[in-house]
């Protein structure tokens, strides 16, 4: 079995090719193939998995965890396999092997179960001619055990070389942190009584409640009522630094899935949330309705670059699309989906700065551009009335390492590693002159 997850292989009768059904590994296979073959995000691959359609929540969660483990350790697992492969197998066979290696070396699955279920998976996926190879290779990996990892520079292997280069001096601490499964971070609704906080968490100095990796948020009492929501500790900082006050009129540009919108709204601000993608806006609306959050907020489908408010605002929070590589801690798929084209993305953000005033370094990113307090109706580029409003040491007293010399916020997964790390995020603040 995969640690912490029931092994249901064999529990659901026989699959189409006569092998026992095993939804966890079937879904994990679909996810890894979706990421590697089609360069689809992990979540999208999960949504599109035929095997996931009838699966229960536990199997989906177990498959998600297994696939994320494969992607988190993919370079290392590839190196472990290399001595046992005479030539490169077809991608689906490689995926089966990676699933086997991840279970043996990183998930403490008993070796016989990891090997047996991988052979069955190969059969179910029409890879019968390779079943013997899968069996032989994984047995040898199992025999080597932890010794197979000796001498491997796992941090370096598990990050694509172009990204390692882009991270510069931060590459090693960031990559080492990415090797760990991310904890579950929650932002609590202000004033939530201590008795109603999810148990087993640690309150971080920045105000985020952190629960152990593998905690299923949907199982926590209060989640469905919107008592808290999932939000990485770093992602919660920009809205906290904006310090919204009750009654302020704030636009949240690029809003879905709505973590920052919720922070602003529960602080009492009158938020207008702008999101371009209808599907993502629908998800934001669902979260809103289900969570009993304040009703005075407007959710608008629109383009942040052209949307204009009908009256002056107190602040604008802009979370412009970015590389998302700073979230690889939680989403290891981004490591293998993104390409070196990131420079083009940064240039796009520079151009967008003409409208939005948001610089963003490649690789580690995430953003905010509040034109706060006496803000006008639009945020514009330099020369259009905005000046930098650096964060102060007092504002970032609990996380001084994240304050850059220019006064911006820059976090990365190598910060707070002993507490479980955090996402990479960049934020800057501007004020209307
Ligand atoms: C980084 S996510 C935002 C996360 C969100 N602020 C939160 O805290 O939950 C970026 C979002 O911007 C949306 N987006 C991208 N370009 C946009 C545009 N021009 N106008 C409005 N939304 C846009 C994307 O669809 C995506 O939902």
Q: Model confidence at 193, in pLDDT bands (50, 70, 90)?
A: very high
Residue 309 in tokens: 């408010």
Residue to mutate, 43, 233, 256, 273, ligand 1, most ligand atoms under 8 Å from C-beta: 256
376 pLDDT band (50/70/90 cuts)? very low
In this structure, are residues 432 and 376 in contact, taking their beta carbons and an 8 Å threshold?
yes
The whole-number pLDDT of residue 355 equals: 37
281 lines ligand 1 (CB under 6 A): no
Q: How far, in Å, from the CA of 366 to the mean position of ligand 1?
A: 11
Look at residue 356 in the predicted model and tell me its pLDDT: 41
DSSP assignment, residue 102?
A: I
Least confident of 88-92, 142-146, 282-286: 282-286
pLDDT of residue 19: 52
Give me the chain's average pLDDT, please: 85
DSSP at 412: -
Q: Quick check: 240 and 206 in contact, CB under 8 A?
A: yes
Does 389 appear as a known binding residue? no
Overall average pLDDT of the 259-280 stretch: 94
Looking at per-residue pLDDT, the higher value among 295 and 29 belongs to 29
Cβ(305) – ligand 1 distance below 6 Å: yes
Q: What was the pLDDT predicted at 344? A: 45
Average pLDDT over residues 287-308: 85
- 258 annotated binding-site participant: yes
Sign of CA dihedral 231, 259, 404, 326: positive
161: left (phi over 0), alpha (psi -120 to 50) or beta: alpha
CA distances from 313 to 17, 247, 295, 310, 416 (A): 62, 11, 19, 9, 35
Domain positions in the chain: 23-155, 232-432
| pLDDT value for 384 | 56
Q: Could you tell me the CA-to-CA distances from 214 to 61, 110, 183, 241 in Å, in that order?
A: 9, 19, 7, 29
The pLDDT tens digits for 147-187 are 999 999 999 999 999 989 988 888 999 999 999 999 999 99
**Rounded alpha-carbon distances, angstroms, from residue 411 to 34, 58, 169, 356, 408:** 30, 33, 14, 21, 10
Q: What is the pLDDT at residue 288?
A: 81
Residues 6+ apart with CB under 8 A from 386: 357, 371, 379, 380, 430, 431, 432, 433
Residue 215 preceded by cis peptide, ω within 30: no
Q: What is the pLDDT of residue 295?
A: 76
pLDDT over 70 (residue 353): no
**Residue 64, helix vs strand vs coil:** helix
Residue nearest to atom 11 of ligand 1 (CA): 254
Is residue 414 within 8 Å of residue 176, measured between CB atoms? Answer: yes
Distance separating alpha carbons of residues 363 and 350, to the nearest angstrom: 14
d(Cα 134, Cα 127) in Å, to the nearest integer? 10
Q: Does residue 256 have a known ligand-binding role?
A: yes
pLDDT of residue 233: 96
Task: Report the atom number in ligand 1 closest to the C-alpha of 321.
Answer: 10
The encoded tokens of residue 25 equal: 């590994």
Domain 23-155 has CATH 3.30.360.10: no
What's the whole-number mean pLDDT along residues 206-216? 93
* 25 or 414, greater pLDDT: 25
* Span 59-75, average pLDDT: 96
Q: Is 319 annotated as a binding residue?
A: yes
* pLDDT in the model for residue 430: 86
Tell me if 15 is assigned to a ligand binding site.
no
Name the DSSP class of 148: G
- Cα dihedral: 253, 377, 404, 236 (round 10): -40
* pLDDT for position 404: 94
User: CB of 275 closer than 6 A to ligand 1?
Assistant: yes
Cβ of 385 closer than 6 Å to ligand 1, yes or no, is no
- Residue-level pLDDT at 370: 33
User: What does the alpha-carbon distance between residue 203 and residue 186 come to, in Å, rounded to a whole number?
Assistant: 10
CB atoms within 10 A of CB 253: 25
pLDDT tens-digit map of 79-92? 999 999 999 999 99
413 contacts 421 by C-beta, under 8 angstroms: yes
Q: Is the CB of 423 under 6 A from ligand 1?
A: no
pTM for this predicted structure = 0.82
Residue 371, pLDDT above cutoff 90 = no
Pocket test for ligand 1, best of 275, 287, 303 (most atoms within 8 A of CB): 275
pLDDT by residue (tens digit) across 70-126? Answer: 999 999 999 999 999 999 999 999 999 999 999 999 999 999 999 999 999 999 999
259 lines ligand 1 (CB under 6 A): yes
Residue among 87, 109, 86 nearest 28 (CA)? 109
Ligand 1, pocket-test mutation among 276, 302, 360, most atoms within 8 A of CB: 276
* Residue in 170, 164, 169 with CA at minimum distance from that of residue 335: 164
278: pLDDT strictly greater than 80? yes
ipTM over 0.90: yes
Backbone angles phi, psi at 424, to 5 degrees: -85, 130
What is the domain class of 232-432 according to CATH? alpha beta
Which protein residue's CA is at the shortest distance from atom 27 of ligand 1? 256
CB 23 less than 6 A from any atom of ligand 1: no
Q: Render pLDDT for 2-20 as a digit per residue (tens, 0 to 9).
A: 444 444 444 444 444 445 5
Between 5-9, 40-44, 167-171, 227-231, the lowest mean confidence (pLDDT) is in: 5-9
């Amino acid at each position: 079995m995969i640690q912490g997850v029931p092994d249901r292989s064999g529990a659901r009768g026989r699959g189409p090719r006569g092998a026992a059904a095993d939804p966890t590994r079937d879904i994990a296979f679909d996810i890894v193939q979706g990421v590697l073959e089609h360069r689809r995000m992990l979540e999208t691959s999960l949504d599109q998995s035929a095997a996931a359609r009838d699966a229960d929540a536990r199997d989906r969660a177990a498959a998600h965890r297994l696939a994320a483990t494969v992607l988190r350790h993919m370079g290392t697992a590839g190196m472990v396999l290399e001595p046992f492969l005479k030539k490169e197998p077809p991608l689906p066979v490689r995926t089966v092997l990676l699933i086997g290696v991840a279970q043996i070396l990183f998930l403490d699955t008993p070796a016989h179960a990891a090997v047996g279920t991988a052979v069955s998976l190969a059969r179910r996926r029409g890879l019968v001619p390779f079943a013997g190879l899968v069996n032989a290779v994984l047995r040898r990996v199992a025999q080597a055990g932890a010794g197979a990892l000796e001498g491997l520079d796992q941090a370096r292997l598990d990050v694509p070389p172009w990204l390692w280069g882009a991270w510069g001096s931060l590459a090693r601490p960031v990559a080492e942190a990415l090797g760990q499964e991310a904890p579950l971070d929650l932002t609590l609704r202000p004033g939530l009584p201590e008795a109603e906080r999810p148990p087993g968490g640690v309150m971080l100095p920045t105000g985020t409640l952190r629960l152990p990796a593998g905690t299923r948020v949907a199982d926590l009492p209060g989640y469905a009522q919107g008592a808290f929501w999932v939000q990485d500790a770093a992602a919660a900082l920009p809205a906290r630094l904006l310090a919204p006050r009750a009654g302020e009129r704030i636009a949240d540009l690029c809003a879905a899935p709505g973590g920052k919108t919720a922070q602003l709204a529960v602080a009492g601000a009158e938020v207008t949330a702008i999101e371009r993608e209808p599907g993502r806006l629908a998800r934001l609306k669902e979260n809103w309705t289900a969570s009993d959050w304040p009703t005075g907020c407007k959710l608008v489908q629109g383009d942040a670059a052209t949307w204009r408010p009908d009256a002056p605002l107190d602040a604008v929070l802009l979370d412009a699309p970015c590389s998302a590589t700073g979230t690889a801690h939680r989403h290891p798929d981004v490591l293998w989906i993104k390409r070196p084209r990131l420079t083009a993305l940064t240039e796009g953000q520079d151009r967008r700065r003409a409208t939005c005033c948001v610089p963003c370094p490649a690789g580690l990113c995430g953003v905010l551009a509040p034109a706060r307090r006496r803000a006008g109706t639009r945020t514009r580029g330099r020369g259009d009335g905005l000046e930098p409003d650096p964060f102060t040491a007092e504002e970032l007293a609990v996380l001084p390492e994240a304050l850059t010399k220019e006064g911006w916020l820059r976090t990365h997964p190598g910060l707070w590693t002993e507490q479980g790390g955090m996402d990479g995020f960049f934020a800057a603040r501007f004020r209307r002159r």
